[in-house]
Structures are given as structure tokens and as C-alpha cells.
Structure 1
Amino acid sequence: MNDVQKLKNDVQRLETENSHLKAEIKNKTESCTKTLACLDQKTHVAFYVFYSYNFKALTIGTTLVFDSVVTNLGNGYNKRTGIFTAPSSGVYTFTWTVNTAGLHVAGQSGQYGEMNASIKQNGVTRGSIKADSESENNDEAATGFVVLSLKAGDEIQVVSDKLNGQGSIYSDKKYGRTTFSGFQIA
């Protein structure tokens, strides 16, 4: 009888310990979802892309299709379309930069580089920048930054906007890259 009682006590002790461990796991999981302390437990979403060459300014409504992909965690950026599609709902940050040329590059003559570039969420403008090289050797750059709440499947793209661009846009090691990047923060 002593052995049977000992086994019953062990089972009761283990059940109590199991109950405490379940409660601890539940508390940590709830805490993790409320803070950034659990980042290593979820899939990361981040991308950084740029044009690998200087190019002619784009007409209104043209999506910038960045061909050089450095980072694409979560596979949200599509190199063929230039569109980032949110793989999960959450809060994201995005930044985009345009470098206009104060020289005639990319087969251009006449006007120097000028371009407006807007970031769009499902076709709605969420931010806009303008870079304008007014004279020879007057290179200009502009960078935009936004924080957006996205649903899974929302599309983000950088679009030539407001006016037809003119001249040339830089994207090289010497004068700076024309870029697009973003990552999920919550």
C-alpha cells in the first residue's frame, strides 16, 4: 500500500507541476504578443532593393521596378512587378530614395534629372518625394519614410507621380542608389 500511495503522490505532484508550467507558457506567449521580445519566434519580414543602373526618368503612373534584391525576408517583394505584398498583417515601415542626375546619363540630353515618387498602398498615395536637378552638376536626392498599418495581401509600390519625370536618374556606387526598403515592426 505504501508503494501505491507513493505513486499517487508522485502523480499528483506531476499534475500540479504540469499545471504550473502550462500557466507559465501561457503568460509568456501572451507577453510575447504584446512586446517585441518575441521577434525571434515569428517570421521576419524585411526587404531592401535598388536599381542596379542609371535610368531615364519615368512617365506619370509608372511603377519603379527595382531589379537588384539585397534582402527579401518573407518573400514579399516581387522583382518582376516592383510591388511588395504584405505576407502578414501588422505595422510596417517603408523608405524610398530617388537620386536625380545633374549630368546627361542613361542616353539623355536636354533637361537634367527631375522626378516625383510616391509610395502607394493598394493604389492610394501614402507619401511623396521630389528630387530636381536644376543645373549641370547639381545632383539632388530625396528620401521618404512612412509607417503604415497593413493587412495581409496589401500591396505597396513606388510610383512616378505628379508630373512626367525628365532627364536621368542615378543609381550607382559613385552617385548613390535609387532604393526601396521596408520591414514589419509589429
Structure 2
Amino acid sequence: MFLAIVILSLSIQWGQCDKVSPKPGLKIFREDYKSVEETCFAVGFVRKNCRNETNTDDRFYAFDARVGTSIKNLGVNGRVVFNTVVSNHGLGYNASSGIFTAYRSGIYVFDWTILPWQGSNAHTAITLNDKFQSWSYCDSGKSGILQSCSKMAVLKLQRGDKVWIAVFRGQAVIHSTFSSFSGYKL
């Protein structure tokens, strides 16, 4: 009798093991996560590094981004969002906000180029934690000629500092594709 109960109990458990779980498997989850992770990386979202790297001190930080859609009538203190990311090594640049975040202290080099619409201007400045650091006065005037303006700045950053390009005077009308922002850690 005892043997019959044990066999019956085991057969019920074995029968239940053949049922398929309604939840997706770990393999599917990993594939979905990898897809989301690659998408976030492609658009420049900042995320913590989950990889097991042994030497993070030699991590390379550099980015290059462009204005994907022309920006019209951006006012004083308006942030120029360079939303088309060409490269984002170290994931310091956020294409949604236009902000670079320093994950390591050190000396950084930044460069930005602005192409205002014909007959308009764009007065921009590199901004470090809400303070203008270096300015670019770009005015195409009434000449009817497109004129781009470029500026480079070298900044000493502490971990967590935030850097972006903002308008410091008037309203800016910025052409897409030809306007860019890039930077790297020395």
C-alpha cells in the first residue's frame, strides 16, 4: 500500500512537470533585454555598466552627436539637444537631454559647431553645472550666406559634473545635420 502511494505521488509530480510555464523563459528574457539594451545604447541613454570589467580606470570617454531636426526659436538658457548620436564611448552623453555627465574626474575637451539658418543667429555657450564657461557668437547677418561657427573648450570636471550647450543671448534658429557637439577625456 505504501509503495502504491509513493508511485502514485511520483507519477502526479512527473505529470505536472510536463506543463509549460505561462511565463517566458530565461532565454527569451535575455534576448528581449539585449534588444532593449542595444536600443538604449544606440540612442545614447546613460546606464550603469553591468559588465564585469576588471580595469575601469582606463575606460575611454568620448562622444559625437548631431542635431537631427532643426531647432527654431530656442530662447536664452535653452539647451541645444544633439539627438543623433554618432558615437558614445563610455555612455556619458544622453541624446534625450543633450547633457554629458562626467563619470570620472579629469580634463575634458569639448567642441561644438552651430549652423544658424540663413539670415539668423545662434549665440551659444558651453555650460558646466548651469554656468556658462565659453561662448560662441554666430551671426549670419543679412548676407544670405550660411555661416557655421565652431568653438573648443577645455574643462576640468569632477565626477558627476554635467556639461551641455545652451543659448546665452536672444533666440537661436539652428540647422540640423551640420550642427554638432563632441567631447573626450584626455
- Shared fold by TM > 0.5? yes
Residue 80 of structure 1 aligns to a residue whose secondary structure is coil
Aligned position for 1:183:
184
Question: Hey, what's the Cα distance between the residues in 1 that align with 2:77 and 2:126?
Answer: 11
Question: Hey, what's the Cα distance between the residues in 2 that align with 1:47 and 1:83?
Answer: 11
From 76, 80, 95, the equivalent of 1:60 is 76
Aligned position for 1:144:
151
**Alpha-carbon distance, 1:123 to partner:** 1.2
From 47, 58, 73, the equivalent of 1:42 is 58
Structure 2 residue identity aligned to 1:59: G
Structure 2 residue identity aligned to 1:181: S
**Per-residue Cα deviation, 1:40-92 (whole angstroms, up to 9, x for no partner):** x7110000001123331411110111110011111111111111000101110
Matched, 1:75 2:91: yes
Matched, 1:164 2:171: yes
Question: Hey, what's the Cα distance between the residues in 2 that align with 1:45 and 1:156?
Answer: 14
Contact 1:52–1:67 under 8 Å retained in 2: yes
Aligned position for 1:101:
117
Unaligned runs of 5+ in 1: 1-40, 103-111
**Alpha-carbon distance, 1:141 to partner:** 1.1
Question: Hey, what's the Cα distance between the residues in 1 that align with 2:116 and 2:80?
Answer: 14
Question: Hey, what's the Cα distance between the residues in 1 that align with 2:150 and 2:67?
Answer: 15
Question: Hey, what's the Cα distance between the residues in 1 that align with 2:94 and 2:129?
Answer: 15
From 143, 156, 161, the equivalent of 1:154 is 161
Question: Hey, what's the Cα distance between the residues in 1 that align with 2:170 and 2:69?
Answer: 22
Question: Hey, what's the Cα distance between the residues in 2 that align with 1:57 and 1:95?
Answer: 23
Alignment of 1:126-145 (within 5 A): 126-135=133-142, 137-145=144-152
Aligned position for 2:121:
114
Residue 74 of structure 2 aligns to a residue whose secondary structure is coil
Question: Hey, what's the Cα distance between the residues in 1 that align with 2:64 and 2:96?
Answer: 15
TM-score (norm 2): 0.66
Structure 1 residue identity aligned to 2:77: G
Question: Hey, what's the Cα distance between the residues in 1 that align with 2:124 and 2:107?
Answer: 22
**Alpha-carbon distance, 1:136 to partner:** 5.5
Unaligned runs of 5+ in 2: 1-56
**Per-residue Cα deviation, 1:122-148 (whole angstroms, up to 9, x for no partner):** 111110101112125321111110111
Structure 2 residue identity aligned to 1:139: L
